[in-house]
Amino acid sequence: MTSSTRERIVAESLRLFADRGYAATSVAEIEAAAGLSPGAGGLYRHFRSKEEVLASAIREHIDRTRRQVVDVLEQAAVYEDRPLEVRLRMTCQAGLAKMREEQDLIRVLFRDLDQFPNLVAEMREGIVNPLYDGIATWLEAQPEFEGSGEDWPAIASILGGAVVNYWLANESMYEPPTRIDEKRFVASWARLGLGLVGLEKS
C-alpha cells in the first residue's frame, strides 16, 4: 500500500529527528526526504509547524502501542499450554522487539523532548505506562500466579525496567552490559521472573 504524503512526512521527520536532532532538522530537509519539493511549503499543507509533525509522530506511536498491548493480551491465552518459563521468555523477547521498533522515537525522547514537556507527558501516559501496565496484566493473568497476591505493577516495573535498561545500554554503548548476549539475557530474565514469585527450579 502506498503511504500518504502525511504519513511520509511523519515517518521521515522522525527518522531525521533521531539521526540529526529536532533543532538541526529543517522543514526543507523533511520535505525533501518525504518526496516533496524542498522549501516549497508542502509540509505546511498538512501540518502547522515542525513541532506538530513531531507531536503527530508521537501520537501515531501511542495509538499503535495501545493496539499492540490489546492484541498481545488477547493472544496470550493461545500460549497457556506452554511452560511458564517459555512464556516469560516470549514476553521478554516481545519487549526487546518493541524497544527496537521504537528506537527512533526513543532517540528523539532522550535528545530533544526536554524542550517539549507536554509531549514527554504524552509519551509517558500513552506508551511507557501502558507497556508496564500490560506486563502487570499479563503476569497476573498467568494461571500459575492465580491468587498469589503479588504486587504485579511493582514486579512489572522491575522486569520491564530490566528490558529497557538492557536495550538502552546496548544502543548507547554499542554492546550489551558486560557483553551478555540477548539469548542469555532473555533466559536469565525469565528465571528472574520465576524467582520473584517463588517458582524457581530447585
In order, the DSSP letters of the chain are -PPPHHHHHHHHHHHHHHHH-TTT--HHHHHHHTTSPTTTT-GGGT-SSHHHHHHHHHHHHHHHHHHHHHHHHHHGGGGTTS-HHHHHHHHHHHHHHHHHHTHHHHHHHHHHGGG-HHHHHHHIIIIIHHHHHHHHHHHHHSGGGTT----HHHHHHHHHHHHHHHHHHHHHHSS-GGG--HHHHHHHHHHHHHHHTT----
Whole-number Cα distances in Å, 181 to 84, 87, 136, 177: 22, 20, 26, 9
> Which pLDDT band holds residue 172 (cuts at 50, 70, 90)?
confident
Closest by CA position to 160, among listed 194, 129, 135? 135
Q: Which amino acid is at 63?
A: D
Model pLDDT, residue 80? 78
- Over residues 152-163, mean pLDDT: 93
Model pLDDT, residue 196? 66
Average pLDDT of the chain is 88
> Which pLDDT band holds residue 3 (cuts at 50, 70, 90)?
low
Q: Which amino acid is at 174?
A: Y
Whole-number Cα distances in Å, 64 to 70, 166, 169, 184: 10, 23, 25, 29
| pTM for the model | 0.84
Model pLDDT, residue 195? 79
Model pLDDT, residue 201? 44
**What's the pLDDT tens digit per position in 44-63?**
999 999 999 999 999 999 99
Rounded to whole angstroms, the Cα distance separating 56 from 12 reads: 12
Q: Are 22 and 13 in contact (CB under 8 A)?
A: no
Q: What percent of the chain has pLDDT over 70?
A: 95
- Over residues 102-121, mean pLDDT: 88
Q: Which residue has the higher pLDDT, 174 or 192?
A: 192
> Which pLDDT band holds residue 200 (cuts at 50, 70, 90)?
very low
Residue 2: is its pLDDT beyond 70? Answer: no
Residue 1: is its pLDDT beyond 50? Answer: no
Grid cell, residue 154, equals: 511493582
Q: Which residue has the higher pLDDT, 128 or 200?
A: 128
Model pLDDT, residue 197? 65
- Over residues 9-35, mean pLDDT: 95
